[in-house]
Amino acid sequence: MQFSGEKGSEKGGKLFGIGRCYFCDEKPDWGMTMTSVQIEIPDEIAGEFYRRAPHPERRVELVERIFREYFAAHNAAESELDILNQNAEELNREAEDVLGYQVLP
C-alpha cells in the first residue's frame, strides 16, 4: 500500500488517494486485500499531515493507525437505537422539561 499523492479539489481542500500504487507492480506482502480510497481534508489538516508524515509510506501508516484507533474507540456494533436506549432517561427528562414550557390555549 502506498500513498498515491494529492490533488486539489473543487472545494479548495486536498484530495488524498490512499491505497495500492497504480504506477508500479508492487503487491502487498501480507495476505490482505487493499482498497484504494480518496478523501478530502482541509488545507490546515493537510499541512499537518505532511509535517507529521513527510514520506508516502509514513502517510499510509499514519492513516491506518488513525482508523484503527478510531474503530477501537467507537463500537460499530452499537446501532442508533442502542445509543438512544442507553440515553433514554436523560432524553425523556429533557423532553418533559421542554413540554413544561409549552403554553396550551
pLDDT band of 22, cuts 50, 70, 90: very low
Which residues on neighbouring strands pair with residue 3, listed in sequence order? Answer: 18
Contacts of 97 (CB under 8 A, 6+ apart): none
The answer to whether residues 33 and 40 touch, using CB atoms and an 8 Å cutoff, is no
What's the half-sphere exposure (Cβ side, CA atoms, 13 Å) at 13? 11
What's the half-sphere exposure (Cβ side, CA atoms, 13 Å) at 20? 12
Q: How far apart are CA 57 and CA 47, in angstroms?
A: 17
Q: At residue 16, does pLDDT exceed 60? A: no
Q: What is the pLDDT of residues 64-104, one digit of tens each?
A: 899 899 888 877 667 788 888 989 999 999 999 999 998 77
pLDDT at 90: 96
